[in-house]
Each structure stands twice: as structure tokens, then as C-alpha cells.
Structure 1
Amino acid sequence: MTARTSLNLIGLAWSCLSFLSCAHCGLSDNHVHSSFIYRRLRNHERREIQREILSILGLPHRPRPFSPGKQASSAPLFMLDLYNAMAVEEEESLHQGAGKSFSAKAQGHSKKSYYNAQHAGYSRVTPPYRAAPLLGHSPSLRTAHDTNFLNDADMVMSFVNLVEKDKDFSQQRRHFKEFRFDLTQIPDGEAVTAAEFRIYKDRSHARYENITLKVTIYQVIKEYQNKDAETFLLDSKNIQASDGGWLVFDITATSNHWVMNPQQNLGLQLCVETLDGRSINIKAAGIIGRNGPQSKQPFLVAFFKASGVLLRSVRAAGGKKKNQNRNKSNNRQDSSKPTKTGDYNTSEQKQACKKHELYVSFRDLGWQDWIIAPEGYAAFYCDGECSFPLNAHMNATNHAIVQTLVHLMFPDNVPKPCCAPTKLNAISVLYFDDSSNVILKKYRNMVVRSCGCH
């Protein structure tokens, strides 16, 4: 099923639930508004819509994450900042496409998408890690590298540290700390384009205030029962003990290796040393571990891009055959009806092909526990007559114009062109998976930008 067909299906089904209202706007943007109140969905209808939307989102089932708690943690907050960056980009794209006559209500929905994560407990109040990058003064959570990674990515995932108890190390590594992340929940067909390990550093203990520290990250290669694990040096950074902010380590190659070889994912180890090689306690160095504030917890973030064309999963079509049979019978009945000679004389009384408002609410589906943002989105839909003559605002293709003329001559054999989307935009969705990892994914062809006759 194509994205266009899927969108139309949602439009037909969702019209049973939505309350849509707005003032009429100009014809130049091929966009009209209407006011309707529809009946509430029955349970089986709601389940069918849920299945259809989950399929479009590429999810085999509804995620059921562990309760994230009331206090916002670092990974969701970082992901929220990335989401807001994408939301601004999408809003600007809509404004460019719609011009000055862009719907005020659609703007409201877009702003709601940007701010609504407050309802999930992730406030837009400036969090403590606005200091990232460590030595900079960027007003954003993300670095310039993150912005570049985001532009090239279809999906971003954050992973929380799974270590709940400190491991016993030898005397030589007594100040080492380990971190583990589950990368087995990555959807098929996604390739890692970038990955970062992020850990927060506060000001160091007074005794180290005026010295330079070396923070080193290792990949665990092999573990032993009676001795320290074999490790591989990934990266190290020299920092001032008095500095504070997020330390960011590039672990792209390691993450790719873990995705391809999950059994070899033995985690990371971190240590802090003075420049003369003396190991020090990471807490005294200001490094925040799992016992620190939730907003400063270490996490891993990975950026992905689809490596090929992904097909939607095939679902049972038991309930669709009835509709198909009904449509076929209706078509037979329609074809047996006499042709109306006054078809085009009365077409002016019918509404021409236009873009109509349609708001899809994730909250009304009961998904607010796993979708962080948005609460919903303005999807719009296309409807109206494609009758002769096809005016300029109908965005008709050359084929549609020819088909209209042939329909005039042979109305029983050739149907009129259909009103359908001519341009579609993407949306971004921020949500939890079953393991409470946070995922930010861009879904293409979800918002009707303009309609036309095809």
C-alpha cells in the first residue's frame, strides 16, 4: 500500500473522531476549512485505526515502556531538543509551501507539536546541560555535529545505561566504571551513521581544581572471571578540572560492530587520570554516574539511515474483503445507472478538488504513555470534484486534463480524474520503545501539502 493510499485511509477513518473547525481561507492555496462533529469510534474501529497507524509507523505492536517517572532524564531531554529542531524545520517547510495564507489552525497544531512534550513531563525549561559542548557556550543541547547527523538521519535512538551495580575491578582499575547499552531493539534495515557516548562532568573536587584531567573511554573486548577484562582504547579527552558540561565520545565504529555482532556487546569502561598517569575517583573528578541526578545520567545516542526500501508488514485482511466486495457491488450498481447528461452542468454546484483540514490525535488513541511528542499532527486530506474545466488552482496533471476530455466523450468507460495529494511533507515522532529507549523518527509523506487532480 502506498503512502498516499494509506493517508487517504486514515483520512476516511479518522473523520469519525475528529472535531474540525476553522474560518474559510482563500482559493489560491487550494485549501478549505469545514466544521463537522463526528460520532465517536467504536472499539473495533479504534483498534483497526491503531493497527493501521502502527503499520505506517513501522511498529509491529504498540510499545509498552516502563514508566519513565515524573523526573525527566537526560536521554529524553536530549532527544526532545533534537525533536524540536526537526519540528522547526518541518514548520518552516510548511510555511514556505503555503505562503501567507497558511492556516492559522494548522499553525496552532504545529506549535502544539513543538511544545506538547511538557504534558509528558519533559519541560522546555532550560536544563542543566545547556553547557554542551564542554568548552562552548552553545544555546542548544545539541552540538554542530549533532545537527549534521540529524540532517542525514531517518531515525535517532537513545539508550540508557543498564549497569545497576558497580563491578569489582582489580586494584589497578579500582576507579574504572562500566556502562552497558542494549542495541538489540534497532529496527531491521537501519544502518548506524553516527553514535555518541555522552557523560556529564561537574566541577571537580577542590583538590583537583587547577589541574588537567584525562578522561578515557574503552571498549570491552573480552571478559574473564579472575582478571580484568581485555579492552580497546576508543577515545580520550584532556579537560580542565574546573570545567563542567557534557563530554561527547564518538563510538560509531563500536556501535556498528555491536549491531552486527550483538553477542560481542560487552559494554564500555571509563577512567579519569591526571596527566602523570595517576588514576583518580571519577566522582571526585566530577563525572556523574548512575547515582547522580536524572537529568545528568550518561547515555548513548545513535543516528540511523534506512539502508534500503522498507516494506510495510502484511496484516490480516479479513475485515477488508467485505469492504472490497461492497465496493465491487457498488461499482456494478453505479455502472448500470443511466448516464447523467447534465453532469457538467451541475458540477459547478459541487466543491472542486481542495485540501481539507484533518487532525490526527495520538492522545485520542490512548498513546500518550509512549508517544512523547507530538500529541497529534495536522494531516489534511484531499477531496472534491475534478470536473471540466480543470481550473489552474486544481493543480491538474496533463494526464488528468486528457482523461477529463475523454470522460466527456465516454463517461461510462472512462472515469473522471481523482482528487489526490500532489505534495506531501514528513513529520517527526518522539516515542519510547518497549525497553524505554527514546526514539526520534522521521516519517515521510504524512502531511498533505497540496492537492490536485490526477
Structure 2
Amino acid sequence: MLLVMLLGALLCSAAARPSPRHRENPRHPENPHHPENPHGEENGTEDPEEVRSAAIKRLLEVFGMEDPPSVHGHKEAPQYMLDLYNTVADVDGVTKDPNFLEGNTVRSFFDKLRSEQVEFSFNLSTVSRDEKILTAELHLFKVRPQVSLTFNRHHFCQVSVYQVLDTIKTNSSQDKKLLSSRLVPVHSTGWEVFTISQAVRSWMMDEDSNLGLHVVVRTLGGGPIGGGPIDTKLMRFASGRNHHQSKQPMLVLFTDDGRRSTSLKSRDIFDNAATSNLPQSFMSGSSSRIARSVDFPEEEGGPTTCQRHPLYVDFEEIGWSGWIISPRGYNAYHCRGSCPFPLGQNMRATNHATVQSIINALKLLRGVEAPCCVPDKLFSINLLYFDDDENVVLKQYNDMVAGSCGCH
């Protein structure tokens, strides 16, 4: 009897197991390459490469881009932009003072003419028409005079910046328009900044009107600099052709691209964050690089209450290190844990969450869940990067870092 029972069990097992021919049948629907499963998905899982591609595309949308900028070769960022970034952001890119910048974008452009003359042209094609020009500045580096002040009577010169006009379009005899003018010490050296917002706004309205800028330097006596050899040695500005890149003429735009911070009060904070579906290959909560910044380490064993945990976004792993200058990555953090009844003060619960917790604990209504652990304070980050034209851009992105977590 025992032998019969064993044989019966073996037969049942063999019948339940699909035959090798059945398993290898290329036309069987369970086969990954069956026509009904054209993408080779097994057990309904998606292709990892497709998931990664869709995730990166979504992350680009978060940063306001359709495609990552293409940067060829090694470029150097202007020192002004590096200093500005270090002023507004900490080592992880988190904004130090959200009120420091008037807008949320700063763009820098090098002179395209690279002329030895005091004429400059800047290509602004990468600036969106939706961006509001708040301030535009022309940065010129004044080099040290080549003549001694003891041999001339000039201690100041008047420097004027003009917008070059199209006389046909303007139907005027004037070929230039004064934008800014002031006195500059002859003996000084370093950067001189002139506000030219009016010209840039007109260029954004009509890009064909962008004919460049012209700088005129005059002595206090009225004569233009450039009339004689000694005058050109008296006051000179660095040109893009004969001087190092760190001293090249530069246009700096402070703009607002129209994005606004979405208040936690006015949005559904229970929605998944834009980064929630990104592959773990470039988003990690256990990276050694962020071990120092874990302010609420997870306790071993058992569920934890609502706490903030690290979530490092690594731009190098994503493949963006070629165009992002700083930071190399940032800690977005995420909220995880339970919101058990009763909610303590350390859980930063809202009154609504407290009431919901009570209803859930007393089972007064069916379908009322316990409050969720979500961010209740969000910080912005700053990116310093090269755009498609290899200009350097500083952009501030709101609501990118979970500053603290609470039960809501």
C-alpha cells in the first residue's frame, strides 16, 4: 500500500510539471518571445532599460528640459558663476537663502565677436521667450594701464555702453542708443559692471534687433579714447581674443522662468514624488557618501515611526556629469515610517491627521486609514550647468529636498 501511494504521488507530480517540449515551445504564451509578449517581458515585468529611459526623461522634465545638453570637450565655467553658486548654495546644492536671488535663473554668455575692438555680440538663442528678464549686466575686465599716471593728467575716464541700432528698422539717423554711462578710475584694474537690461529686453522681443553693443571711452576733456597710441594704453578692457577666458567680456542675465513653488498646503502631498520611480542604480538610501547626513538612523528590528531617511541622487550614475558642473549629486531624502496612535509631538502631526488617527484607532468608519508619513518642509536646490550652447547657467529648483517629515 505504501508503494502504491508513493507511485501515485510521483505521477501527480509529473502531471503537474510541464513537459520540456511545452516549456520550450516558442509559440507558448508564457515564452518571453511569444508574439503575445513582443517585448520579451517575463511575468509582466517591464524592460529595465525602458524603465530607466522613462525615469531619466521624467527627471529631465523636473529640471525643465527635454533632452540633456550636449557638451563637447572640457569647458571652464566663469569664476563669477562659480562664486555666485557658492554664495547661494551649500556643498550639496541646497539653497542657503531663498531670497538672495531675485529670480530663479542666472545665465552667462561670452562675447561671440572676440574682437580686439570695444564691440561685443552675444547669442541669446538659448533663452526662452517665456523667461522674464529682470536684470542684464555687461561685465568687462579692465586691465592695468600701460602708462604711468605721473605722465598724464587723467585720473578718470567716462565709459559709455551703447546698443547698436538698425537705422532702417528704427527709421532714424541714430545708429546707437545710450544704455549706461559712468566714470571709471584710470588706475583701477578688475571687473566693471554695466546694467543693460533695456537692450536685452528689446532683443528678446525681436531677435533680429540684436546687433550687439558698442563701448566708448572718453577723457573728461571730451576726446574719445582710441585716437592716439598713448590713449589706448591709458584705459583698456580685456578682449576675447587676446586675454584668458577668465577675463573675457561676459553678459549676465538674471531671469525668472515662471516656475513657482507649490505650497504643501495647496497640493496633494500624498502623491508620489517625481523621483519615486527612478531606478535604484542612481538613487540610493544607503550610499556611504551620505552616511554623515543621516539625522534619524533607522532602528534595527521592528517598524519605525515617521522619520526622514537619506535618498541620494547621483548625477554621475545617471550620466549627467558631463554637463552638470555642481553639485555632483544631492540628498533628496524621503519620508518613511508609521504614524501610530496616539500621535506624539515629535511626529509633527496636523490637527487633521490627529483626528484621522483617532477615527482609525476607534474603527468608527470603514476605510479610514492611518495618517501617512510625508514631507512637511521642502527645500530648493541649485544646479550649475552648461546649456546647449555651452553657456553656463545657474538655476534654482523648488521643492527638491525633504527638510523634515510629519504625519499628515
Q: Which residue of 2 aligns with 1:59?
A: 65
Identity across matched positions, percent: 36
User: Could you tell me which residue of structure 1 aligns to residue 12 of structure 2?
Assistant: none
**Residue 302 in structure 1 maps to residue 253 in structure 2:** yes
In the other structure, the counterpart of 2:3 is: none
Change (3 A) 1:372 1:179: same
- 1:295 Cα deviation (Å)? 0.7
Instruction: Give the 5 Å matches for 1:74-113.
Output: 76-88=78-90, 111=91, 113=93
CA contact (8 A) 1:66 1:434 kept: no
Contact residue 261 and residue 399 of structure 2 kept, 8 A: no
Which of 135, 141, 146 matches 1:205?
A: 146
Q: In structure 2, which of residues 325, 342, 362 is the aligned counterpart of residue 389 of structure 1? A: 342
Alignment check: 8 A CA contact 1:150 1:303 kept: no
Q: Deviation digits for residues 313-349 of structure 1, max 9, x if unmatched?
A: xxxxxxx9xx9xxxxxxxxxxxxxxxxxxxxxxxx94
Deviations 1:341-377 (A, max 9, x none): xxxxxxx942111110111111211111111100111
Q: Report the count of equivalent residues.
A: 310
Deviation at 1:416, TM superposition (A): 1.8
Question: Offset of 1:242 from its aligned partner?
Answer: 1.9
- 1:451 paired with 2:402, answer no
| 2:196 equivalent in structure 1 | 251
How far off its partner does 1:410 sit?
Answer: 5.2
CA RMSD of aligned residues (A): 3.0
- Pair 1:440–1:201, CA change in 2 (3 A): same
- Give the conservation status (yes or no) of the 8 Å contact 1:149–1:194: no
| Counterpart Cα distance in 1 of 2:208 and 2:74 | 28
Shift of 1:439: 0.9
CA contact (8 A) 2:93 2:383 kept: no
TM superposition shift of 1:165: 5.1
Paired position in structure 1 for 2:388? 434
Kept in 1: contact 2:115–2:240 (CA 8 A): no
Distance between the aligned counterparts of 1:151 and 1:362, measured in 2? 24
Distance in 1, Cα, partners of 2:61 & 2:49: 18
- Indicate conservation of the 8 Å contact 1:190/1:307, yes or no: yes
SS in 1 for 2:67: coil
Is residue 2:54 matched to residue 1:48? Answer: yes
Distance in structure 2 (CA, Å) of the matches to 1:150 and 1:196: 17
Provide the residue aligned with 1:183 in structure 2: 124
Confirm or deny: 8 A CA contact 1:354 1:452 kept in the other structure: yes
Cα distance in structure 1, aligned partners of 2:125 and 2:261? 19
Q: 1:229 to 1:258 in 2, by over 3 A?
A: same
Q: CA deviation at 1:223?
A: 5.9
Greater gyration radius: 2
Structure 1's 422 and 59: CA in aligned 2 closer, same or farther, altered over 3 A? same
Distance 2:113 2:162 in 1: 16
Out of 97, 102, 112, which is 1:162 matched to? Answer: 112
Alignment gaps of 5+ in structure 1: 1-40, 89-110, 115-146, 167-175, 312-319, 324-347
CA distance in 1, matches of 2:98, 2:368: 49
The counterpart of 1:219, out of the listed 136, 160, 163, is 163
Match of 2:213 among 268, 283, 287: 268
CA distance in 2, matches of 1:259, 1:381: 40
**1:229 CA drift (Å):** 7.8
Q: Which residue in the other structure is 1:356 paired with?
A: 309
Structure 1 position 113, deviation (Å): 4.8
Shift of 1:308: 6.3
Amino acid in structure 2 at the alignment position of 1:373 = S
The whole-number CA distance in structure 1 between the counterparts of 2:138 and 2:59 is 32
Deviations 1:151-179 (A, max 9, x none): 3221111111111456xxxxxxxxx5321
Distance in 1 (CA, whole Å) between partners of 2:79 and 2:181 is: 25
Task: Give per-residue Cα distances to partners, 1:258-315, cap 9 Å, x unaligned.
Answer: 122222111101122322333334863221011211110000001112446599xxxx
The aligned residue for residue 328 of structure 2 is 375
> Secondary structure of 2:354's partner?
helix
Partner of 2:101: 151
Cα 1:151–1:113 change in 2 (3 A) is closer
Say whether 1:406 aligns with 2:347: no
State the SS of the aligned residue for 2:88.
Answer: helix
Letter in 1 for 2:120: F
Shift of 1:413: 1.5
SS at match of 1:414: coil
TM-superposed CA distance for 1:400, in Å, is 1.3
Note if contact 1:221-1:264 (Cα within 8 Å) is conserved in structure 2: yes
Match of 1:293 in 2: 244
Quick one: structure 1 residues 356 and 374, their matched pair in 2 at CA, closer, same or farther if it must change by over 3 Å?
Answer: same
Partner amino acid, structure 1, of 2:69: P
- In 2, Cα distance between the equivalents of 1:278 and 1:443? 49
Name the SS for the 2:53 alignment partner: helix
TM-score when scaled to structure 1?
0.62
Distance 1:204 1:149 in 2: 39
Distance 1:294 1:309 in 2: 35
The answer to whether the Cα contact below 8 Å between 1:158 and 1:301 also exists between their aligned partners in 2 is yes
Match of 1:194 in 2: 135
Q: Indicate the structure whose relative CO is greater, using CA pairs within 8 Å and at least 6 residues apart.
A: 1
CA contact (8 A) 2:162 2:177 kept: yes
> In 2, distance between residues paired with 1:404 and 1:235?
63
Point out the structure with the larger helix share. Answer: 1
**Which amino acid in structure 2 is aligned with residue 192 of structure 1?**
I
Contact kept, 8 Å, 1:68 with 1:436, in 2: the verdict is no
Alignment map for 1:17-36 (pairs within 5 Å) = none
